[in-house]
């Protein structure tokens, strides 16, 4: 069972890494759009219509595309000072408290996924959009889908953090080598 969960963890990690890379590409595209808008506005007095809407659209995409990788590498914004101090004196308590925190995060991500799914379905069916008609419009449903998929992947990653025993660095290297041979 642990071996199957490790394979799922490896697959989830790969998907999270790919989503992070896509989020990075969205950042680069956003930089190009903003730079184009600045140059076109300043030199030619022809701003890029819809730049503000694209920035708003992109910000949500960036956050939710990169969130699963942040979860994967334990870089969520939180104070780990208490867990570090606790881990030095009582490592077992620290491990269980960390698992409790991951379980609470799992529950919240599941709740986000459950809450966003009906919104995605409604936006997909109605083809609701944001923006200014005649200037720039885009459908809402891709954003809702990315939020849903990100929440599901984050839920999976948090669940695996709760269910699987923690590995030290040598065990992680050995596991990665063994799992890459399997896939």
Say whether pLDDT at 171 is over 60: no
Q: Is residue 180 part of a domain?
A: no
Q: What is the pTM of this model?
A: 0.84
Residue 48 counted as domain residue:
yes
Instruction: Measure the CA–CA gap between 11 and 135, rounded to whole angstroms.
Output: 41
Structure tokens given for 111 = 């709740």
CA distance 66 to 70: 6
35 in any annotated domain:
yes
DSSP, res 73:
T
List the domain range (segments joined by +) for residue 27.
2-173
> Considering the domain boundaries, does residue 179 fall inside one?
no
φ, ψ for residue 37 (rounded to 5)? -60, -45
DSSP SS3 for 78: coil
User: Residue 132: beta bridge partners?
Assistant: 136
The reply to whether 110 falls in a domain is: yes
Task: Answer whether residue 181 is part of any domain.
Answer: no
Q: What is the average pLDDT value for the chain, to the nearest integer?
A: 89
Q: Is residue 182 part of a domain?
A: no
Quick one: pLDDT band at residue 177, thresholds 50, 70, 90? low
* Within-domain flag for 183: no
pLDDT > 60? residue 102: yes
Please report which confidence band the pLDDT of residue 178 belongs to, taking 50, 70 and 90 as the band edges: low
Written as one string, the DSSP assignment of 127-179 is T-EEEETTTEEEESHHHHHHHHHHHHHHHHHHHHHHHSPP--HHHHHHHHHHH
Domain count, the chain: 1
């Amino acid at each position: 069972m642990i071996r199957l969960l490790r394979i799922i963890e490896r697959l989830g990690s790969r998907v999270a890494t790919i989503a992070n890379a896509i989020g990075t590409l969205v950042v680069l595209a956003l930089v190009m759009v903003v730079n184009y808008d600045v140059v076109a506005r300043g030199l030619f007095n022809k701003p890029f219509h819809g730049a503000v809407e694209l920035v708003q659209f992109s910000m949500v995409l960036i956050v939710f595309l990169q969130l699963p990788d942040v979860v994967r590498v334990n870089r969520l914004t939180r104070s780990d000072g208490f867990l570090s101090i606790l881990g030095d004196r009582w490592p077992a308590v620290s491990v269980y408290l960390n698992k409790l925190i991951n379980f609470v995060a799992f529950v919240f991500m599941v709740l986000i996924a459950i809450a966003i799914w009906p919104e995605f379905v409604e936006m997909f069916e109605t083809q609701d959009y944001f923006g200014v008609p005649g200037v720039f419009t885009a459908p809402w449903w891709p954003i809702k889908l990315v939020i849903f998929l990100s929440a599901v992947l984050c839920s999976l990653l948090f669940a695996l953090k709760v269910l699987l025993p923690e590995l030290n660095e040598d065990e992680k290297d050995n596991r990665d080598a063994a799992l890459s041979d399997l896939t």
